[in-house]
Amino acid sequence: MHRVRQFYQKYWIVPWLWWLGVILPGVFFILVSLGFLLTMHWPKDYQNVVNLSLDPNVEYLTLSAHGVKDTPASWSDELQRTYSQIQHMPFSDLHKQHISFGWQPYSDNVLNCSVDGKKIGLFLGEQLSRLPKLKGVHLLGHSCGSFVILGICEAIKEQKASLSVQTTYLDPVSVYSGIFWDYGLEYFGSCGDFSDAYIDTQDTVPGSNQALKNAYTFDVTETRVKNNLDYAPHAWPPLFYIHALEKKQVPIYFKSSNKLSPEIHKNTLLTWPFTYK
């Protein structure tokens, strides 16, 4: 003990440097991180975006959610128009409603959009599950809008498990709450009765260029590159899907219709085009 005391008396600056260089920055980092997470998950009032005008007689509903710093006008509006015009689908004889969902300003924050998106989705899912005649839904999300879709699906399946749900992910962002980097890769597709995803592997957004564990994931990069299309990789999958839907090239699931071929598997990156039966 005497030698230790002598050492600290002689080198008194060492413990101070330890505190200033290691302990205090570590404590500061932890406090800032906790404050950041608390702010991100703090309860908010989403009533300005979740009050949808729903048709009480709707039997089949489609809903698409745009991504971060985007609006429905960029692709979602066109997608729903396309959906409303196509004929001879498994649900053609049902009463339908098509919703292009806008969720600004909550979609404008890159750091918060995953948490806000999923909470908004849970509210929407509760509303949809209460529709008395609803038999099936098709939910489509791009980028951070994928968390909206996941939330809707989870709420529906909790409230009304018998409802037929297809979830389609278009270049989905995987990072949740700023720290769970593989959240989307693990959970997107885990909820729906059928889930498919369309990605551009040249996209650098985390999770947007990898196969989803619980969905049939199709790489549509070659279609853009081969045709020399002037679209950013992250923006391409929604536009690709619209054209593919027009041509009835993508599977539309409703009560086990349009099953994929047996050789096509989830958690595997599949190159477009593909065939289904």
Domain ranges for the chain, please list them: 2-38, 43-271
Rg (CA), the chain: 23
Which residue carries 């979740």 as its tokens?
A: 50
In eight-state DSSP terms, residue 26 is H
Separation CA 103–CA 81 (nearest Å): 19
Over residues 109-127, mean pLDDT: 95
- Looking at domain 43-271, its CATH class is alpha beta
pLDDT tens digit sequence for 184-193: 999 999 999 9
Check if the beta carbon of residue 233 is closer than 8 Å to that of residue 205.
no
Separation CA 153–CA 120 (nearest Å): 12
**Chain Cα centroid distance, residue 225:** 25
Strand-pairing partners, residue 97, are 61
pLDDT at 78 over 90: yes
Separation CA 223–CA 229 (nearest Å): 8
Helix 236-246 and helix 76-85, axial crossing angle in degrees, nearest 10: 10
pLDDT tens digit sequence for 134-174: 999 999 999 999 999 999 999 999 999 999 999 999 999 99
**What is the reported pLDDT for 92?**
81
pLDDT tens digit sequence for 15-72: 655 555 555 555 544 544 454 455 555 578 899 999 999 999 999 999 999 999 999 9
**Chain Cα centroid distance, residue 78:** 19
The number of C-alpha atoms within 13 Å of 87 and in the hemisphere containing its C-beta is 0
- The DSSP element (H or E) to which 169 belongs, if any, is strand 164-170
Pick 86 or 130 by higher pLDDT: 130
Residues in the chain: 277
Residue 28 to residues 16, 32, 71, 150, 211, Cα–Cα distance (Å): 16, 6, 37, 34, 37
What is the dihedral sign for C-alpha 156, 100, 233, 195? positive
Separation CA 273–CA 129 (nearest Å): 34
pTM of the predicted model, to two decimals? 0.84
Check if the beta carbon of residue 220 is closer than 8 Å to that of residue 198.
yes
